[in-house]
Every structure is written in structure tokens, then in C-alpha cells.
Amino acid sequence: MLKWALIFLVVGLVLGAMGFGGVGGAFVGIAKILFFVAIAIFVIFLVLALVAGKKVV
């Protein structure tokens, strides 16, 4: 998912540099959403791994 966020960011920056600010801004917005979703999924899996790794005595 971070790969897609990076792709959308680069495309948005290129479009912004070419003068297509509205479309470029939309691509950058999508990149931000994908980035934060990827971070949220990472944190969820990290918490699940820590909880599942604990043994009950």
C-alpha cells in the first residue's frame, strides 16, 4: 500500500508541475489517505502480534 501511496504522490507532483493543479492535488490527497491507512494497518497488526505473542501462565 505504501508503494501505491508513493506512486500517487509522484504522479500528483508531476501533474502539479505540469500545471494540472486540481488533478495533482487530488492525487496527492489520495496518496495521503493511502499512507495513513497503511500506517493504521501496520499499527493494528503490530498490536495483534504483541497480544498473540504473550503466553498465559
Q: What is the 3-state secondary structure (H, E, C) of 8-43?
A: HHHHHHHHHHCCCHHHHHHHHHHHHHHHHHHHHHHH
Which pLDDT belongs to residue 53? 78
Q: What integer pLDDT is reported at residue 16 of this predicted model? A: 93
Instruction: Give the pLDDT score at 56.
Output: 65
What is the model's pLDDT at position 1?
Answer: 85
Give the pLDDT score at 54. Answer: 72
Tens digit of pLDDT at every position of the chain (57 positions): 899 999 999 999 999 999 998 999 999 999 999 999 999 999 999 999 888 877 666
Rounded to whole angstroms, the Cα distance separating 26 from 5 reads 12
The residue extents of the domains of the chain are 2-53
